[in-house]
Structure 1
Amino acid sequence: MKDFMLIFRQPSYDYSNLSPSEMQTLTKKWQDWVGGIAAQGKLKATGQRLSSEGKVLKAGGVVTDGPFVEIRERLGSFMIVKADNTDEATTLAHGCPALEANGSVEIREIV
């Protein structure tokens, strides 16, 4: 079995605009989805949700505000799953709540 990182990219929007019940519903979707992967014995590690604030260091020592000033999506979080191959890891990514918000899941083998 190999390890794969699922990287969650989402449109840049402010979660603070969600009502408490909307945030609770969204949190439950994530918990249920991750719980389903864990129940299959495929979950290796989860990452915490990342702040939208940050810096980007580029070649030559150039530092910019970031992290993704040029694009309209941001890296929201990640998790590591166990799967036999990329196809199985991709199957595990289906149902990710980020997809409901026009986000994406990048699936990468950890080598």
Structure 2
Amino acid sequence: MTEFILIFRRDIEEFTQDYKESLATAVPGIGKKWFSWMGKLHEEGRMVGTYQRISKAGRTVMPDSTVQEKPYTEIKDAFSGFLIIRAHDFDEALSIAKDCPNLLQNGSVEVRKFIDHNDQVS
């Protein structure tokens, strides 16, 4: 099996607003869906590591060594977390991503294959 990274993105302003407005109702419900989805992946032996959430705060070091105060400057969607999985091929990794609860939160899931050092970069 090949390893893939699933990168979760959300509109940071929408996510922050949704979270504040629905902390008591929506968050526990979507949390159950996340745990169920990840539990299934774990049972199938597909999870390489645990899900990692990423803070919206951060800094970016630029080529001239200056530091920008935000990790994203021109994009609307923020990188909110990732999960490394195993799948037989790209199509199977995409199928797994299509069941991700982040899609129910108006987010996206970017799927990328880890490159073996013997593979061509593409």
Matched, 1:49 2:53: yes
> Which stretch shifts more, 87-96 or 13-22?
13-22
- Find runs of 4+ consecutive structure 1 residues off by over 3 angstroms: none
Computed over aligned residues only, the root mean square deviation of the Cα atoms, in angstroms, reads 1.4
Q: Name the CA distance, whole Å, in 2 between partners of 1:54 and 1:36.
A: 32
TM-score, length of structure 2 as denominator length: 0.83
Number of residue pairs the alignment of both structures matches: 111
Larger Rg: 2
Identity percentage over the alignment?
Answer: 34
Q: Name the CA distance, whole Å, in 1 between partners of 2:21 and 2:56.
A: 14
Residue 19 (structure 1) shift? 2.2
1:3 counterpart residue number: 3
Matched, 1:87 2:91: yes
Question: What runs of 5+ residues in structure 2 fail to find an aligned partner?
Answer: 116-122
Q: Name the CA distance, whole Å, in 2 between partners of 1:59 and 1:5.
A: 26
Question: What runs of 5+ residues in structure 1 fail to find an aligned partner?
Answer: none
Residue 31 (structure 1) shift? 0.7
